[in-house]
């Protein structure tokens, strides 16, 4: 898996496709909070959000499934869209140029989730 940066902004269909998976939205939200993370740390944070609990209470198998899904599916898709970069050598994921196209949509999604719990 390598970095496939993009020099164009994302169209609406691509944005909807990228944000259609909750796990991808959680990963992006974590990266917005931290700017970059090692992939295992990102998997831990995403698993905590998915399970709405602290890491020690989440089964190791669930965290491993999250890591594998991020590594094989979600990070490559986000990288191809120029939203994240992934450095396999350092195993680090960071926001990229097109991340700004998604930040507004992530904020709207987060606000909608907050309102649905009221």
Residues paired with residue 94 on neighbouring β-strands, in sequence order: 36, 85
Examine the pLDDT at 104 and tell me if it is beyond 80: no
Over residues 92-114, mean pLDDT: 74
DSSP state at residue 9: P
The continuous run of DSSP H or E covering 99 comes out as helix 99-116
pLDDT of 109: 53
pTM of the model: 0.83
Say if CB 3 and CB 86 are below 8 A apart: yes
Task: Dump pLDDT digits (tens) for 42-69.
Answer: 999 999 999 999 999 999 999 999 999 9
**What CA–CA distance (Å, rounded) separates 45 from 55?**
8
Task: Dump pLDDT digits (tens) for 10-46.
Answer: 899 999 999 999 999 999 999 999 989 999 999 999 9
**Ordered domains of the chain (ranges, CATH):** 12-110 (1.10.10)
């Amino acid at each position: 898996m390598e970095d496939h940066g993009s020099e164009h902004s994302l169209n609406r269909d691509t944005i909807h496709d990228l944000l259609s998976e909750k796990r991808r939205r959680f990963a992006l939200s974590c990266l917005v909070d931290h700017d970059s993370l090692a992939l295992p740390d990102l998997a831990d944070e995403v698993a905590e959000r998915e399970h709405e609990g602290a890491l020690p209470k989440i089964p190791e198998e669930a965290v491993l499934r999250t890591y594998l899904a991020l590594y094989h599916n979600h990070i490559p898709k986000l990288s191809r869209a120029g939203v994240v970069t992934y450095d396999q050598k350092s195993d680090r994921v960071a926001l990229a140029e097109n991340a700004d196209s998604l930040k507004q949509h992530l904020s709207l999604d987060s606000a909608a989730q907050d309102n649905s719990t009221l």
